[in-house]
Structure formats: structure tokens, C-alpha cells
A and B are shown apart, each in its own frame.
Chain A
Amino acid sequence: MLTDIGDESKALREHRLNIEEFNYAYAETLDAMDVDEWVEYFTEDAFYHVIARDNAESGLPLGLIYCEGKAMMKDRAYALLNTEMFAPRYLHLSISNTRALEIRGGEILASANYTLVETRVEEASRIQQVGKYRDIFVYEGRRLLLKERICTYDSVMVDNCLVFPV
């Protein structure tokens, strides 16, 4: 039980460290294009949304990716690995400025910045997406999981296509 601001900021600092570890592992999983494993960072009923910043700020709900629940994420993972045609590439996802913002009941509200750099055959590396995560984390047992990850991207003009999630 948190009794004063000092305790809360101490608790948030601790959560932030855990979330940073989580985000580093998350980025490594996506760099490896291991989308089956990516699904396991989420709770069963998690919401995952990749939304252009102009849509978000205009109150428009359309997402580049819109997953209600882990089942939809599994279907995306299956489609990417088994049905989709796309050029070979290297992925490099960096997550920075991780912040634990608030503890609300059993949930931790957090945010972070992210940058996805893509490198295709015979091409210079280029930024595919820069954006901000707005997250809700929960603990299931001792495991930290995402209950919600809203990825709002500033790079509104998508360079050709976004193949893998961010």
C-alpha cells in the first residue's frame, strides 16, 4: 500500500526498470521477426493498435494494425510467417524514454518512444516508423504483460508498407 508521493515514485522507478527490461526483450523479439513470440508479450484480452498521429489527434479510430485480443495477433503472426510476400529486410527497433507514469489499481500506465529502422537488400537503412507507445502493463503472477499498447506514429506517410508490428 502506497502512503505518500515518495513511496509512489519509488514504486514507479522500480516498475520503470522492469518495463525497460520488458521493452528491450520486446524489441529483440521483433528484430528477430519472431512474431509468434511477440504475441506472448500480451495478455489474452490485450488491445494492440498502430495508429497514425493525425488520425489519433483528429479522434479518428482507424489503425494501420488493429488487434482486439491475442487471437487476432496470432492470426497476424500466422499470416506474416505463412502467407505474406515481402522483400527480405533487417529490422532494428529501438525503444527509449521509457516512463512509468501512474499506478492505477493493478495496472501500470507507461509510455516510451520507438524508432523502427528497416534495411532492405542493396538499399541504405531508412526510418520506417517513429512513434510513441502508450501502454498499460499488468502482472500475471510474476510476469509483466501488456494489456494495451497503442503505437501512435509521427511518420504518417508510410514508406511503401509496414510489414512487421512495432
Chain B
Amino acid sequence: MDEKNGQKSGFDNQQWFNRAWPDDDTRIPDWIYTDQDVYERELEKIFLGRHWNYVGMECEVPEPGNYIRSYVGPFPVVVTRDMEGILHVFENRCAHRGVEFCREYRGTANSFICPYHNWTYDLEGNLSAVPFRRGLGGRGGLPPDFDMAKFGLRRFSVATRGGVIFATACADMESIEQYLGPEIRKEFDATFDGTEFKLLGVHRNILPSNWKLYQENLKDPYHATLLHTYLTTFGLFVSSNESKIPTDESGRHGGLLSRRPDGRPDVSKEEQANMQAFKETMKLNDPRVLTYFPETDSKWSGSVLTIFPTLTALRQTNILNTRLLVPRGPNEFMMLWTVFGRADDDDEMTRHRLRQNNIFGPAGFLGIEDNEALRFLQEGLGKAIPREGLALLGKDDEPDDTIITERAIRGMYRYYRDVMEF
């Protein structure tokens, strides 16, 4: 301590190698976002563990023979619809030498041929042909006892609900309905209500951030009106909107539900004082972007669901999208946004959804800010002298319409800690 300047250092070095999870669950350690061995444990315990991983929407593979590239956790897979209309999810990795054989974003095929040695697979992932299987001139080739049936592509179990496709490596997995739990299932069904969807397109972006931070972001109603001044400036969302933050029993899934009042929301003086950038008088030159045509029975005009581990599902006014988080190591993930409308939308409704989608996506008014904030956050966690993050706001036994809270973040990490055995 410097006597003249008289400040005691605020650093203690005890946390540097300390991997013990803090006893206080309002504290989240830095190392879960940055460490390679933690990431590797997630591969086993989470993505290949007892979880349903979102892999795509049925409207991305509407016809027999359709396929898309996708991922279970970080693992490349192909999602196909076979000639009988059945969905399959298998590894995008040839059983022979391991080539990632499916190279197109999407397409239609009746088989997949690995380009390296032409091993061929059907739409279910079965190995259907191997060139020179018997060798040439009676010499070479595969061993005589080679069993084609044993060398198909490794498959995941598949479940669908409301047009959303999930896959799991877990052999005795519970149903997707049980997995979601009653509270979250109800809100899931309000968005994926059994109508047929129509794909509008896919956004793809790389975020230099740990995948869990994105789930946190959408479990965090505290940031919504503070980071996203677009919402408050144009009256799409303010903290005094009627809201609900449900979670499932385990804490792993959550929702941010809100109801936009008709007309411009009433923003209290208390709220204005807390929001730096509040502008009372702004009106859009083209207000069509915010028009809401009610299209569900739900009272909530906004619903963001975080389905553990890597799905977020958004219904915000007339924007419908799912986001798949694809981890690429502890410090980066890829995000695939599947944006859709309903099959019976007319051209004007389709255009309305396309206009409204300016708000989200990697160039959206909210997307830009979330992506930038999470990039800054990962840099803070990765470069700085370690300490614990805080998730202090609200209470765990508060009413679920409390909005200035981090209850859902704490809930997810209680579950995470349990599964990861930390």
C-alpha cells in the first residue's frame, strides 16, 4: 500500500487457479466461459448428454429428399426427410475416413456420396454402396466379413413438436414434452401452434462469445430497455409492460413474455429516470415496421423462449424465428437464425414479416447491440484478471411477473452446475 496515495489494492490473487464454484449462487465464475476443459466437459455432459438439441425447422425440409446441414452442439449433422416423409438426423462424417461430406447449406438428394472414396449413404444414413468392395481382379477390397449395416452414419434420435426438430444422442431420453416441462411447453405451443410454417430465409453469423452468454442474454429482462433503446424510443417494449418470466422446474428453460399495450405505452417518470436514452416523442417515418396483426390465442405479443441447451425461439409481434447456437470452442459460436412465416400468409403478410425482421438478425436494431455487447463481455471475461460475475437482481422466490431480475440466469446455472458436476 502506497502511503501517499492511500488506496488499498482491490485485487486478490486467490481466484486465479481456483476452480471451486462459489457457494453464493449470485456469483458466476469466469472460467465457465473461457476454459477449454470446461468446454470439453460440456460436449459430453450437455450436447451428447440427456438433452434434446434443436437442429432445425420442418419448414426447412418440407419435401421428401430435402436436407439441410445442421449441428448437435458443435457436431456437424445432416437433417433429412426421406421418401416416406420421415425425418432423420445423422453425423455429417463419412464412416470411412471421417470426411464432412455434405457441403451445401440445403438441397434435395436421394443419397449422399462422400467425394473422397465414393462411399454412399441413403437418406436414413445407411451405408448403401462401397466402390471396389470386392477389390480388383480378386485382390484387395474390404474384408469378406465387412458388414455394411454396421458402418452407416451414426444417428441421433429425433423428436418434433409444432414443426420444430430436436435430436439427441441419449439412448433412453424422455419425450420432448417431458423435457420442456408444463410451464414452458404451454408457451412453446403458443408459438408453434400446429399451423404450417413457411421458410423466409436463414441468417448466419459468428459471435466471438461463449454460447451460454446468448442464453443468458435472453433470460435477462434487465438489459432489454437499457441496452435496446430502440425498443423504448419507438415504444415496442418498456419495463412497465405486463410481463412474465416463467422457467421450468429444473431452471434450464425459460421465457420472457410481454404484452404490448394497444397504442403507445405509458412510461412512468420512475422508468424514464432510469433509462438514459428515453425519447418521448419519436415516431417512425414508416410505422408499418411495428404494426401487430394478432395471430395467436396467446395474450403475450412478445415471447422469447430459451430451450436448453442451444435453442431460442422468438415470437415478437409478427416476427417468428428460431436461433440455433453452434458452439465453436469456449470463445466463439455460430448462430443460425431460421426466420419463417405461416404457409397461408398472403404476399402482403410476407412483406410485413420481412419489414418487421429489420428489428432482429445480425443487422437488426436489437441484433447489432446484443452481438456487440456479448463480444465486449467475452473480451472482458477472457482478457481481464479473473473475478466472479454478479447475478444479484431480484429474488428466487419472487412473483414471476418481476422484470428487473436475474432469477432465470441463476436458475440456469444451478442446473448447469448440477449437470456439469461442478
Q: Are B233 and A82 in contact (CB under 8 A)?
A: yes
A127 to chain B, nearest CB (A): 13
**Any chain B CB within 8 A of the CB of A160?**
yes
Q: A85 to B373, Cβ gap below 8 A?
A: yes
A83 sits at the interface (CB 8 A)? yes
A71-B285, A83-B230 given as contacts; is B208 within 8 A of A160 (CB)?
yes
The interface residues of chain B lying within 8 Å CB-to-CB of A75 are 284-286, 289
| Contacting pair A66 B203 (CB below 8 A) | no
Chain A: CB-nearest residue to B290: A75
Q: What string of 1s and 0s marks CB contacts (under 8 Å) between A68-87 and chain B?
A: 11011011101100111111
Q: In the bound complex, how far is the Cα of B373 from the Cα of A52, in angstroms?
A: 24
The verdict on A62 contacting B208 (CB below 8 Å), with A75-B284, A79-B230 known, is no
Q: How far is the CB of B61 from chain A (nearest CB, A)?
A: 13
Interface string of B332-369 (1 = CB under 8 A from A): 00100001000000000011001101100111010111
A63, A83, A86, A158: which contacts B205 (Cβ < 8 A)? A158
In the complex, which residues 47-96 of chain A have their Cβ closer than 8 Å to any Cβ of chain B? 50-52, 54-55, 58, 60-69, 71-72, 74-76, 78-79, 82-87
The smallest beta-carbon distance between B321 and chain A, in angstroms, is 9
Complex Cα–Cα for A163 and B284 (A):
19
On whether A61 and B368 interact (CB within 8 A), knowing A71-B285, A72-B358, A84-B230, the answer reads no
B105 within 8 A of A: yes
How many A-B Cβ pairs are below 8 Å? 125
Question: Given A87-B376, A162-B363, are A64 and B203 also a contact pair (CB < 8 Å)?
Answer: yes
> Is B106 on the interface with A (CB-CB < 8 A)?
yes
B229 at the interface (CB under 8 A from A): yes
CB of B277 within 8 A of chain A? Answer: yes
Let me know if A4 is at the binding interface, CB within 8 A. Answer: no
Among residues of A, the one whose C-beta sits closest to the C-beta of B277 is A83
Question: Are A66 and B201 touching (Cβ within 8 A)?
Answer: no
Q: Which residue of A lies closest to B283 (CB)?
A: A75
Known: A52-B203, A75-B284. A160 touches B363 (CB 8 A): no
CA A87 – CA B279 in complex, angstroms? 22
Task: Find the A residue at minimum CB distance from B204.
Answer: A157
- Residues of chain A lying within 8 A (CB to CB) of residue B205: 157-161
Interchain CA distance A64-B365 in the complex, whole Å: 11
Chain B hits for A67, CB < 8 A: 358
Complex-state Cα separation, A54 to B201, whole angstroms: 9
Q: CB-nearest residue of chain A relative to B376? A: A87
Q: Are B354 and A66 in contact (CB under 8 A)?
A: yes
Check A62–B201 contact: CB distance below 8 A: yes
Q: Across the interface, which residues of B come within 8 angstroms of A62, CB to CB?
A: 200-203, 339, 354, 357, 361
- Nearest opposing residue in chain B for A87, CB measure: B372
Q: Are B363 and A64 in contact (CB under 8 A)?
A: yes
Query: B201, B233, B289 — which one has the most chain A CB atoms within 10 A of its CB?
Result: B201
B369 touches A86 (CB 8 A): yes
Q: Which of B270-292 contact A (CB under 8 A)?
A: 277, 279, 282, 284-286, 289
Which residue of chain A lies nearest to B284 when distances are taken between CB atoms in the complex? A75
- A160 B202 Cβ-Cβ under 8 A: no
| Interface members, chain B 296-338 (any A CB < 8 Å) | 334
User: Chain B contacts of A85 at CB under 8 A?
Assistant: 227, 229, 368-369, 372-373
Determine if A156 is an interface residue (Cβ-Cβ < 8 Å): yes
The answer to whether B201 touches A158, judged by C-beta atoms less than 8 angstroms apart, is no
Contact with B along A147-166 (1 / 0, CB 8 A): 00000000011111111000
Docked Cα-Cα span, A81 to B29, in Å, equals 36
Cα separation A159 to B208 with both chains bound (whole Å): 9
Q: Is A160 a contact partner of B207 (Cβ separation < 8 A)?
A: yes
Q: How far apart are the CA atoms of A84 and B274 in the complex, in Å?
A: 18
Q: Which of A50, A54, A60, A72 contacts B363 (CB 8 A)?
A: A50
B206 touches A64 (CB 8 A): no
Contacts of B358 in A (CB 8 A): 65-67, 72, 76
- Tell me the chain B residues, 358-397 only, with Cβ under 8 Å from chain A: 358, 361-363, 365, 367-369, 371-373, 375-376
Contact partners of A83 in chain B: CB under 8 A: 229-230, 233, 277, 365
Question: Which residues of chain B come closer than 8 Å to A86, judged between CB atoms?
Answer: 368-369, 372
A62 to B376, CA, bound (A): 28
A89 to B334 CA separation, bound complex (whole angstroms): 22
B residues in contact with A160, CB < 8 Å: 205-208, 362, 371-372, 375
A149 CA to B362 CA in the complex, in Å? Answer: 20
In the complex, B199 has a CB within 8 A of chain A: yes
Give every chain A residue within 8 A of B285 (Cβ-Cβ): 71-72, 74-75, 78
Alpha-carbon gap, A157 to B362, bound state (A):
10
Q: Is the CB of B233 within 8 A of A162?
A: no
A85 to B231 Cα, complex, angstroms: 13
- The 6 A-B residue pairs whose C-beta atoms are closest, nearest first, are A62-B201, A71-B285, A71-B286, A60-B201, A158-B205, A162-B363
Q: Apart from A54-B106, A160-B371, what 12 extra A-B contacts exist at CB < 8 Å?
A: A64-B203, A64-B362, A75-B286, A79-B230, A86-B369, A158-B205, A160-B205, A160-B207, A161-B367, A161-B371, A161-B372, A162-B363
Residue ranges of A at the interface with B (Cβ–Cβ < 8 Å): 50-52, 54-55, 58, 60-69, 71-72, 74-76, 78-79, 82-87, 156-163
**18 pairs from A and B in contact (CB 8 Å cutoff):** A51-B201, A52-B201, A54-B202, A60-B200, A60-B201, A60-B202, A61-B354, A62-B200, A62-B354, A65-B363, A82-B279, A83-B277, A84-B369, A158-B203, A161-B372, A162-B362, A162-B363, A163-B368
